[in-house]
Amino acid sequence: MGMETRISSWNELQDSLYENAWIDEIQRFRPPFAFRGLSCADFTLATSLMRLTDNHAQLEGHLVRNFKKYAHRDVVDQGSFWYWLSVAQHHGLPTRLLDWTFSPYVALHFVTDNPLLYDCDGAVWCVDYKKVHEQVPEALRSLLAKEGADVFTVEMLKDIPSLSEFDGLAGAEDFALFFEPPSIDDRIVNQFALFSVISNPLTGMDGWLRNHPDVYRKIIIPYELKWEIRDKLDQANVNERVLFPGLDGLSRWLKRQYLPIREKMKS
């Protein structure tokens, strides 16, 4: 863990993605990993809030408060702060949440969804959320133990009514956790999505992970493999049409599917 692995073939990629997938206690292949795919390996794990401005910590509360005010008629579950935050992230509001997936193939989709970036190596981050959750405060660990769960849900976090109270649970060090968003729409369901959140808006996930090298791996995917991976994902029906249900996703899929060969070579 905590290492970068550069693969050189499709078969080697499969072995790396499913490394440590066998769980002896339950005699099943159930790896406790969250995956995030990046089209360029040098991209950071910065949140949309961090990318907004250097002053993002001061803006966080204003963004969420105003989203709640103006989205009031469109959000059904208005009693849960974490539901509100999930909906905001899902619809593009800059937040400290970061998108992940339980599916390594969904992560590979985001490595290869932009042909204009096929001239740079991609990456998949693999994070062991069970190990991450061993380091959350005891009050949160007890919630997982009570439910017999490995990942938090919005319902489990409902008694934490704000990010400031969430941050207040931290001790000397920031902690991270993963939670499943509510099934707001088919996009969240089909992408097998989950979110990460850190108890400090100034802390980036890649920085936090590198301080905890036992919980993650980073798989580097050479750019030469991207078209093979993309074509095999399309054959497996992992594409925009499925992951972004609706006419927008259909149009994005068709645009990429029928990209002329000469344009592929340029990219």
CA-wise closest residue to 129 among 85, 94, 179 = 179
d(CA 10, CA 73): 47
Q: What is the pLDDT of residue 155?
A: 93
Query: Are 178 and 152 spatial neighbours (Cβ–Cβ below 8 Å)?
Result: yes
Angle, CA 219 vertex, CA 207 and CA 39 arms, to 5°: 80
Domain boundaries, the chain: 3-238
With 0-12 / 13-18 / 19 or more C-beta atoms within 10 angstroms meaning exposed / middle / buried, residue 12 is middle
Average pLDDT per block of 10 residues along the chain, 267 residues long: 88 95 88 96 94 82 88 71 91 94 98 94 98 96 94 94 93 94 90 96 93 96 96 96 95 90 51
Number of residues in the chain: 267
d(CA 90, CA 61): 17
C-alpha distances out from residue 55 to 49, 51, 96, 194, 264, Å: 9, 10, 13, 26, 39
For residue 253 the two structure tokens come to: 């899929």
CB-CB neighbours of 210 under 10 Å: 12
For residue 129 the two structure tokens come to: 């959320």
pTM, two decimal places: 0.93
Q: What is the pLDDT of residue 64?
A: 87
d(CA 81, CA 153): 12
Q: What is the pLDDT of residue 266?
A: 47
